[in-house]
Structure 1
Amino acid sequence: MTRIPFVASRYPDPRYNEFALRNRFRAFAVRLEARKNPQRQEADPNGKPVSLSVHDIVDKPSVPYEVGVRINRRSKCLAAQHVAARPIAQLKEDDRELIERVRDGVALVRIESEDHADRIAAAVHEEFPWMAPATVALWHAMRRSVRDGDPGFRLPPLVLDGPPGIGKSAWARFVAEQLRVPTIAIDASGEGAGWGVAGLQKGWSSAMPGRPLTAIIEHQIGNPCVIIDEIEKPGVDRNAKGESYSLTSALLPLLEPLSAKAWNCPYFRVPLDMSWISWIMTSNDQRRLPAPLRSRCTILSLRQLTLPELTGFVRRQQHRQGLSNGAIEAVVAALETAPGRTASPSLRTAIRLLSLAEDQDNRPRFH
């Protein structure tokens, strides 16, 4: 993995705090006075001039009172200007400690070779063959990243549009697992989705950084995968003042690579490089997507999965979940012969049945 700068703002320099500046000015004043009046230089037992250390200068206020007043005033002014030019210095101690975790940058997970890209795409297609359009888009993006020599991999913003229950979110989580990057899942229809993406500025009782930023700081990986479900159903969030903030408004500057490169965090109020995030959004009706969002994303239309594809997915879970042959066959039979089963099988139903089968396999035995 390679590392890139993450916080596009200078950190405060300890050499420019008020105490350090005052000591430097006092030391300079003492040396200047010693050159003007050599007889006032201190000497060692052998008569040689001795240079005063910073601690000596602090302990021995050997500058005139008027000079000391000017030094103190000037040191305070310069230290304040230094802090004002560095927003990080103005953060509270807890927030400053949090942002300090990424002071040296963040790591980027990259695709090592086109063969590496091929292996990931093959694994994803084997698991979700009905999601072929999305897997092909992922495959091309990975190979392009290798050819361009990118320091890390980012998937261009995708909207997976298709019937409910076909595994759009499961595909996105599996992709993140194969890429070995952190995953952040956000429900667009839930309250506070806009604040969850961008965060909420200080001054409010619920002020917080956005969830993608929190994950980047926690894992120190700059290209996580953010999954937003039901992107066509976002509400409008309102804060205590009644100000509105939609999920679309929060997303737009993060989806544009140029603006995301120096995205101004509402919480920390410092520019951050959020341009490496992979955004995967799901929808059931792309016609309801806002026009600004449609123009910034690749929208892929996906089909319903078939019953053989669904049962194949179930059988592949046997070894992963440690299920017995009987449990797997029971799940397959339930999917094939369930009373009133519609012509559109659901991956969500299959996952729920697998969970029940796992519980049955691991229940205690009574004698």
Structure 2
Amino acid sequence: MLERLKALDVICPQFAAVTAWVVRAGMLSHGTNTPLRLDPAVVVGTPGVGKTFYARKLAEALAVPSEVIAMNLMTDRGSTFSGLSPVWKASAPGKVAKMLIEGSHACPLIVIDEIEKASPINPNETPIQVLHSLLESENAACFLDEFVDLPIRADHIFWFATANSLDPLPPSIVDRLIVFQVETKEAEMVAIQQSIFHQANLRAGGAFAEPPPALFEATEGHNLRTLSRLWTIAMGFACEAGRRNLIDADIRGAEQILQGGKEGVKRPIGFIRSVSRSERAAE
């Protein structure tokens, strides 16, 4: 597990501080022969920096079941977490109870995606309230799902949240989270771009050759979410031309699709200004 965790730095170098924190917890667990414990954490960064992708890769490295809960889709007081009482027609256990009762691990990874974007119909019944208990280990040790109505040990769950900003969250929730600010450094982009290409190539059965460095330079103005789509579309152009190697025309064709077919210079999207390395060297 520790080796898998350390390998995350290759594909997600922008999350090195998060990975190092998890690795240290793993070393403590191994060295003391005690269960691995991770405090609830949140990674904060701009859209498209790869937060949810990293969370999924972290679950794979830990070899535990995972569930991504999109907070922006929650319109009630949190029944997704805590279940719904049997008095209601649509009653059912919450995801916390289901993962612990039906799963094989006491420590699944639950990702709260965009934790700051809850949009309850009744502002007085926000799903944030149930997190006060779940993110506090003492309370989570006897968590009560409304449907199951029996105390459940939920204090070993790994909670991992993502956010664009913590400003909308109450201080009482932020205080329960270890906060990691994540931004992509320019020096990390080559490794990140290669990782995204390899993921896309894996989905395509590994059919394509590694692009030359110039092609990675040509895509460096896009954020990670855009890149994950761009490579797949570019591969389609290459297949149409009967090739298994990507060329600049494939990238430009993919960009035109992602930009809605608009002609002109590629638009920089996200955290890096679209300036090539050769231009920077000339400066």
Name the counterpart of 1:84. Answer: none
Does residue 174 of structure 2 align to residue 273 of structure 1? no
- 5 Å matches for 1:130-169? 130-150=14-34, 152-169=35-52
Could you tell me which residue of structure 2 aligns to residue 347 of structure 1? 224
Query: Percent identity of the aligned residues?
Result: 25
CA offset digits 1:197-253 (Å, max 9, x no partner): 111222112211111321233323211100111111112255xxxx95322111111
Q: Which residue of 1 aligns with 2:182?
A: 302
TM-score, L = length of structure 1: 0.58
Q: Which residue of 2 aligns with 1:20?
A: none
Among residues 181, 201, 204, which one is paired with 2:88 in the alignment? 204
Conserved? CA contact 2:197–2:228, under 8 Å: no
Structure-2 change in CA distance of 1:305 and 1:350 (3 Å):
farther
The whole-number CA distance in structure 1 between the counterparts of 2:109 and 2:218 is: 37
Q: Aligned-residue CA RMSD in angstroms?
A: 2.7
CA distance in 2, matches of 1:235, 1:201: 21
- Partner of 1:160, secondary structure, is strand
Q: Give the residue type in structure 2 aligned to 1:347.
A: L
**Hey, what does 2:248 align to over in structure 1?**
none
How far apart in 2 are the matches of 1:221 and 1:331?
Answer: 43
Structure with the higher helix share, 1 or 2: 1
Report the Cα offset of residue 312 of structure 1: 2.3
Q: CA deviation at 1:319?
A: 6.2
Is this contact kept in 2: 1:262–1:272, CA < 8 A? yes
Distance 1:332 1:234 in 2: 42
Structure 1 residues 279 and 324: CA distance shift in structure 2, 3 A:
same
Contact 1:130 1:304 in 2 (8 A): yes
Q: For residues 320 and 249 of structure 1, do their structure 2 counterparts lie closer, same or farther at Cα, with a shift above 3 Å needed?
A: same
Spell out, residue by residue over 1:300-350, the C-alpha distance to the aligned partner (whole angstroms, 9 max, x if none).
111135442332223443663333335x539983x6436xx84xx311112
Change (3 A) 1:361 1:163: same
Shift of the 266–280 alpha-carbon distance from structure 1 to 2, 3 Å rule, reads same
Shift of 1:192: 3.9
Q: Which residue of 1 aligns with 2:273?
A: none
Determine the C-alpha separation between the residues in 1 that align with 2:199 and 2:120: 39
1:185 aligns with 2:68: yes
Question: Per-residue deviation at 1:355?
Answer: 3.6
What is the count of residue pairs matched by the alignment? 237
For 2:75 and 2:232, the matched residues in 1 are separated by 30
Q: Secondary structure at the match of 1:313?
A: helix
Distance 1:248 1:332, change over 3 A: farther
Partner SS for 2:117 = coil
Residue of structure 2 equivalent to 1:283: 163
Q: What is the rounded CA distance, in whole Å, between the counterparts of 1:168 and 1:318 in structure 2?
A: 17
Q: If the length of structure 2 is used for normalisation, what is the TM-score?
A: 0.74
For residues 261 and 234 of structure 1, the distance between their equivalents in structure 2, rounded to whole angstroms, comes to 25
Unaligned runs of at least 5 residues, structure 2: 243-283
CA shift in 2, pair 1:195/1:361, >3 Å: farther
Q: Partners of 2:30 and 2:125 in 1: how far apart? A: 37
Whether the 8 Å CA contact 1:201–1:207 is kept in 2: the answer is: yes
Out of 218, 242, 249, which is 1:337 matched to?
218
